[in-house]
Amino acid sequence: MQRIRLRYTKRGRLRFTSHRDFQRAFERALRRAEVPMAYSAGFTPHPKVSYANAAPTGTASEAEYLEIALTAPRDPAKLRALLDESLPDGLDIVDAVEARASGLADRLTASVWELRLDGVDPADAERAAAAFLAAGTVEVQRMTKNGLRTFDARAAVAGLETAPAPADRPLDGPCAILRLVVRHVTPAVRPDDVLSGLRAVADLAPPVPAAVTRLAQGLFDEESGTVTDPLAPDREAVTAAPPEGAGHAAATAPEGAGSA
């Protein structure tokens, strides 16, 4: 059985696609691309697809991940192209590697988010970010399936800073861009929780809902404060592996074959 790990995006209007909607679209794409999927056992077999830490509905993402199991080997690059052609624009398969290292979910320990705050002056956003980072705790509330829950949004935030607005953005008013690095903890701290925290500590209240995009997710490097590519260990394992048959050839070469 071959396992392939994929990175996909949710862009434009497709950011409103729920995780369940994406699952249905992806399974249709697997059938269109004639991928030799492995299936679970039991009365209702389903394709062996493992989804990892999906972004909330309504947020865009450049870094969503999943893993599929195949019954026959396929070239990851060709498989990526076939699946990408079978999905609607906005749901794009942008990377594929063969699984060669430990579990993918274990490498997703933090996310980098971009928060676009239209109608907010960048200087106000910078002051609010500084106040948030200076706070020891920032308690926020969120309605969950078990009722209203209060938790600390500050502890999970490893970084928060302003970033330049896109050069191609229409100049129709102020716009602040925040870059946010959040560790994946329990309970999960989401970008909207951090926005609630900014409102609590600095009275920062954007006049329109923030446009939220996940830029990356992966293993958090404590020294550099960066989030690393979770598929890099698989690529490195493929590069480090000897060519197929090389070991067998060395073992069966006749004695003295390399002597002058």
Domains in the chain, number = 2
Mean pLDDT confidence for 98-117: 94
Domain boundary among 52, 76, 106: 106
221 with 138, same domain?
yes
Residues 154 and 171 reside in one and the same domain: yes
Q: Is the domain of 51 the same as that of 162?
A: no
158 in a structural domain? yes
Last-in-domain residue among 106, 128, 146: 106
**What's residue 168's pLDDT?**
67
CATH, residue 30 = 3.30.70.580
Residues with Cβ within 8 Å of residue 107, at least 6 apart in sequence: 218, 219, 230, 233
Q: Residue 226, Cβ neighbours under 10 Å: how many?
A: 16
83 within a domain of the structure (yes/no): yes
Secondary structure of the chain in HEC code, one letter for each residue: CEEEEEEEEECHHHHHCCHHHHHHHHHHHHHHCCCCECECCCCCCCECEEEECCCCCCCEEEEEEEEEEECCCCCHHHHHHHHHHCCCCCEEEEEEEECCCCCCHHHCCEEEEEEEEECCCHHHHHHHHHHHHHCCCCEEEEEECCEEEEEECCCCEEEEEEECCCCCCCCCCCEEEEEEEEECCCCCCCHHHHHHHHHHHHCCCCCCCCEEEEEEEEEEECCCCEEECCCHHHHHHHHHCCCCCHHHHHHHCCCCCCCC
Judgement on whether residues 32 and 46 belong to the same structural domain of the protein: yes
Determine, yes or no, domain membership for 136.
yes
- In angstroms, the CA 61 to CA 105 distance is 17
Verify that 99 and 202 share a domain, yes or no: no
Structure tokens, 162: 């302003």
Percent of the chain exceeding pLDDT 70 equals 90
- Terminus-to-terminus CA distance in the chain, angstroms? 44
pLDDT at 198 (0 to 100): 97
Q: Are residues 91 and 81 in the same domain?
A: yes
Torsion of CA 55, 209, 153, 108, to 10 degrees: 20
pLDDT in tens, 2-34: 999 999 999 999 999 999 999 999 999 999 999
pLDDT (tens digit per residue) in 51-62: 999 999 999 999
Q: Per residue in 79-104, is it b (16+ CB within 10 Å) or e — as a string?
A: bbebbbebbeeebbbebbbbbbbeeb
Instruction: Grade residue 252 by pLDDT with cuts at 50, 70 and 90.
Output: very low
- On whether both 16 and 115 belong to a single domain, the answer is no
pLDDT band per the 50, 70, 90 thresholds, residue 157: very high
**Residue 162: exposure state from Cβ atoms within 10 A (0-12, 13-18, ≥19):** buried
Tell whether the model's pLDDT for residue 258 goes beyond 70: no
241, part of any domain? no
Predicted structure pTM score: 0.87
Q: Which of 90, 13, 18, 85 is nearest to 51 (CA)?
A: 18
Calculate the average pLDDT of the chain: 90
The amino acid present at 34, given as its one-letter code, is E
- pLDDT band at 96; cut points 50, 70, 90: very high
Query: What pLDDT does 144 receive?
Result: 81
Q: In angstroms, rounded to a whole number, what is the distance separating the alpha carbons of residues 95 and 85?
A: 13
89 and 142 within one domain:
no
Residue that finishes a domain, picked among 106, 126, 147: 106
* Amino acid 241: pLDDT: 63
Asked if the structure places residue 198 within a domain, the reply is: yes
Give the pLDDT confidence score for residue 169 in this predicted structure: 65
CATH number where 141 lies: 3.30.70
Q: Are residues 188 and 200 in the same domain?
A: yes
Residue 158 has pLDDT above 90, yes or no: yes
Q: Assess whether 166 and 80 both reside in one domain.
A: no
- Please tell me whether residues 136 and 38 are part of one structural domain: no
Q: Average pLDDT of 138-161?
A: 91
Question: Domain range holding 187?
Answer: 108-227
